[in-house]
Amino acid sequence: MARDSRLTHNTALILKAIDSGFVYGFSIMEMTGLPSGTIYPAMRRMEEDQLIRSRWERQAIADREQRPPRKYYQLTSTGKATLEASRKRYPLIERMVPNAEAKP
Amino acid sequence: MTISPLESAIRRAHLGLLWGASLLVPGWRRSQWSQEWRTELWYVLRECSCKASARPRSIREATAFCLGAYQDAIWLRRRSWQKQRPLSRVAGSAYVCLLLLIGALLFTWGIAHMSSRVAAGMSRIQVYPRRVSDTGTPCDCPFDLAVGRASFEAARLLFDGFSHYEITQETVWSEKMPRTKWTLAQARSDFFDVLHLPVLFTDGVTRVPDSLPHVVLSQDTWIRNFGRKPNIAGAKLHVGSVDAIVVGVTSGDSMGFPGTAKAWLLGPDPQIASSKLEFVVGHLSRVGYLDDGRWSLSVGGILLGLLVLPFVSRPSIGEYGSQKPSLARRGRFWAFLLAKITISSAIVFYASVDLGCLLVPPFSPSSAYIQATSSAALCLLGLTWAWRDQKHRCPICLRRMAHPVRVGQPSRTFLEWNGTELICERGHILLHVPEVPTSWFGAQRWLCLDGSWRFLFARPNG
């Protein structure tokens, strides 16, 4: 269960972006338009609050595509519930974040 | 793909920025943190390289990205400190607020009492003992009469007794003591009583006739001329042309009076003679700066601040939505505000005394002005703070509202909601503060959260 969840506008935006398929830091940054100095601390806080969880991509996959492995984020069940709650509070976010065209 | 030396240098500079930021990250997380940021930088640079047409802009973007790493690193460092300091979790609570205020009150009170004593001491040095007349003519004083008078007037409330004495030279003898020239201090018979100075070895005083002048020996004279005789009271002395009776010996407190008299001849009020030195002495009461009536200056300033407050700060905590906190909760909310105002006023009182006492010489006219004006200004500041702080406190748990989020901009969302939203960390209430007050949303508005929000704010232990 989340502890002291900070359901701010940025939190809701990031949750929505991850839910829409933007699942690594840089893509979330691009999607939301928020600077890196906002995005990464926010995601660490959300991870501490168990709204999202992260996992590193397997090295073999990254090697095959000749790039460094990415750190992927996904919503937890609490995160999904929080996103649902945030829709009431920030209804415009639905329109701000489209679904990712291609999920990795 | 080949990389030019310039690009390589820029890349190294970016990696250097990340390395610098990594130093701020707690050691146990540094490795993974660096890996994540270097990976992300790789993707950022790849994206930038695709925008070859706007290279300087791309470099700026990559640099901005790297600079963001510092914010992340600082956040992690702060988080680490917060975990080490569990008290930071209670920082916004009402109890901590009151405790801090009480701490500030005790601090200012302590300073005020210390400075009060210091001021009294300084006043003693300034005013007592002071030579009033050198030649017998009051106007012909060796110090500035106006300053001296002002000093006396300013400090008069501190004194609970004034007396004076004059220095004379007389021949003194007795049956057991040959004629000797003594320097005598001639004073009123109540001199020692008025100045609260003890007289020692007065066992035989009841037998002393009141009609004769009394003599109080200095300790030095008692030792040299009377061999520390304990039953000295009642001894007869011839002082010039009169007979006098020894009634005791001065205590150590009487030493240091100007004139270095060998004895005190107490009788009727001595007349000022042009050839004699006269000194005025005052006894400082044990009260200090705080007790001399100057409290009214601070109280007046505080009242003035209270009167002006409605003109500088809007005394409203906003409107509630459809749901209102219970009457008891609202009562607690206002009681908390009252407590803050009370303690703040007390802090202002003592702080203004501190300023009036420490910034300028105490008891000077400017100290009174400083005390009065600073109390009004500080009161205004303190009450404005108390009110603003209250406006951002959850009416239910009294904690500070947290996580401000700016929503919308008046220039972009015309007629739409714009302003700042804050939320109670315990999930009790939302606060909407309009950025530009309008006729339909002029004051801040509270929105009590219903039960459906509670699961978000539940604590691990329930």
- Inspect the interface and report whether the beta carbons of B70 and A6 lie closer than 8 Å: no
Query: Does A35 fall in a domain?
Result: yes
- Inspect the interface and report whether the beta carbons of B72 and A8 lie closer than 8 Å: no
Summarize pLDDT for B436-445 with one digit per residue, the tens. 777 777 788 8
Q: What is the CATH number of the domain that holds A19?
A: 1.10.10.10
Q: What is the ipTM of this complex?
A: 0.85
Summarize pLDDT for B318-337 with one digit per residue, the tens. 888 777 888 888 899 999 99
Name the 3-class secondary structure at B192.
helix
Summarize pLDDT for B37-50 with one digit per residue, the tens. 999 988 888 877 76
Give the residue from B231, B260, B288 where a domain finishes.
B288
What band does B342 get if pLDDT is binned at 50, 70 and 90?
very high
DSSP string across B371-396: HHHHHHHHHHHHHHHHHHHHHTB-TT
Query: Does A62 fall in a domain?
Result: yes
Pick from A4, A10, A39: which is nearest to B425 by CB?
A4
Averaged pLDDT, B379-399? 89
Q: In this structure, are residues B131 and B277 in contact, taking their beta carbons and an 8 Å threshold? A: yes
- Estimate to the nearest angstrom the gap between the alpha carbon of B64 and the chain centroid: 45
Nearest to B395 by CA among B344, B433, B449, B345: B449
Q: What is the pLDDT of residue B219?
A: 86
What band does A52 get if pLDDT is binned at 50, 70 and 90?
very high
Return d(Cα A64, Cα B401) in angstroms, integer: 49
> How many structural domains are present in chain A?
1
Same domain for B248 and B358, yes or no, is no
Same domain for B331 and B429, yes or no, is no
Q: Which of B40-54, B57-71, B375-389 has the lowest mean pLDDT?
A: B40-54
Best of B39, B61, B422, B461 to substitute, by most chain A Cβ atoms within 10 angstroms, is B39
Q: What is the pLDDT of residue B169?
A: 87
Query: Does B281 fall in a domain?
Result: yes
Q: Which residues of A touch B47 (CB under 8 A)?
A: 26, 30
- Inspect the interface and report whether the beta carbons of A81 and B455 lie closer than 8 Å: yes
What band does B107 get if pLDDT is binned at 50, 70 and 90?
very high
Residue B200 has pLDDT above 60, yes or no: yes
Q: Give me the domain span that covers residue B223.
A: 128-288
Q: Give me the domain span that covers residue A49.
A: 9-92
Residues of chain A above pLDDT 90, percent: 13
Same domain for B372 and B278, yes or no, is no
- Inspect the interface and report whether the beta carbons of B407 and A9 lie closer than 8 Å: yes
Chain A to chain B Cβ contacts (< 8 Å):
88
Residue B297 has pLDDT above 90, yes or no: no
Nearest to B342 by CA among B98, B178, B84, B18: B98
Averaged pLDDT, B65-94? 79
Q: How many CB atoms lie within 10 A of CB A103?
A: 10
Q: What is the pLDDT of residue B289?
A: 59
Residue A92 has pLDDT above 70, yes or no: yes
Same domain for B318 and B408, yes or no, is no
Q: What is the pLDDT of residue B129?
A: 44
Q: For the stretch B372-411, what's the b/e string if a residue is b when 16 or more beta carbons lie within 10 angstroms of its beta carbon? A: bbbbbbbbbebbeebbeebbbbbbbbbbbbbbebebbeee
B274 φ, ψ (degrees, to nearest 5)? -65, -25
DSSP string across B112-165: HHHHHHHHHHHHHHHHSSEEEESSS-TTS-SS-HHHHHHHHHHHGGGEEEEEEE
More confident residue, B274 or A20: A20
What band does A3 get if pLDDT is binned at 50, 70 and 90?
very low
Query: Does B120 fall in a domain?
Result: no
Q: What is the pLDDT of residue A38?
A: 87
More confident residue, B363 or B261: B261
Query: Does A102 fall in a domain?
Result: no
Query: Does A13 fall in a domain?
Result: yes
- Inspect the interface and report whether the beta carbons of B68 and A71 lie closer than 8 Å: no
Instruction: Please say whether the dihedral angle defined by the alpha carbons of residues B10, B12, B16 and B18, taken in this order, is positive or negative.
Output: positive
Give the residue from B84, B100, B118 where a domain finishes.
B84
Q: In this structure, are residues B430 and B447 in contact, taking their beta carbons and an 8 Å threshold? A: yes
Same domain for B206 and B331, yes or no, is no
Query: Does A100 fall in a domain?
Result: no
Query: Does A61 fall in a domain?
Result: yes
Q: What is the pLDDT of residue B415?
A: 66
Query: Does B105 fall in a domain?
Result: no
Query: Does A98 fall in a domain?
Result: no
Residue of B nearest to A72 (CA): B36
Query: Does B381 fall in a domain?
Result: yes
Same domain for B248 and B146, yes or no, is yes
The tally of CA atoms less than 13 A away on the side-chain side of residue B273 is 10
Same domain for B197 and B166, yes or no, is yes
DSSP string across B308-371: HHHHHS-----EE-S----HHHHHHHHHHHHHHHHHHHHHHHHHHHHHHHHSS-TTSHHHHHHH
Strands (E) in B157-219, as ranges, are 159-173, 180-188, 199-200, 214-217
Residue B121 CB partners (closer than 8 Å, separation 6+): none
CA distance A36 to chain B (A): 5
Give the residue from B271, B288, B305 where a domain finishes.
B288
What band does B280 get if pLDDT is binned at 50, 70 and 90?
confident
Return d(Cα A72, Cα A55) in angstroms, integer: 5
Name the 3-class secondary structure at B401.
coil
CA distance A77 to chain B (A): 12
> How many structural domains are present in chain B?
4
- Inspect the interface and report whether the beta carbons of A35 and B64 lie closer than 8 Å: yes
Same domain for B280 and B132, yes or no, is yes
Same domain for B284 and B295, yes or no, is no
What band does B170 get if pLDDT is binned at 50, 70 and 90?
confident
**How high is the mean pLDDT of chain B?**
78
Averaged pLDDT, B166-173? 87
Q: What is the pLDDT of residue B127?
A: 43
Q: Which of A5-19, B67-81, B216-230 has the lowest mean pLDDT?
A: A5-19
Residue of B nearest to A26 (CA): B40
Pick from A2, A8, A68: which is nearest to B405 by CB?
A8
Q: What is the pLDDT of residue B420?
A: 84
Same domain for B234 and B145, yes or no, is yes
Return d(Cα B364, Cα B393) in angstroms, integer: 43
Averaged pLDDT, B57-72? 87
Query: Does A19 fall in a domain?
Result: yes
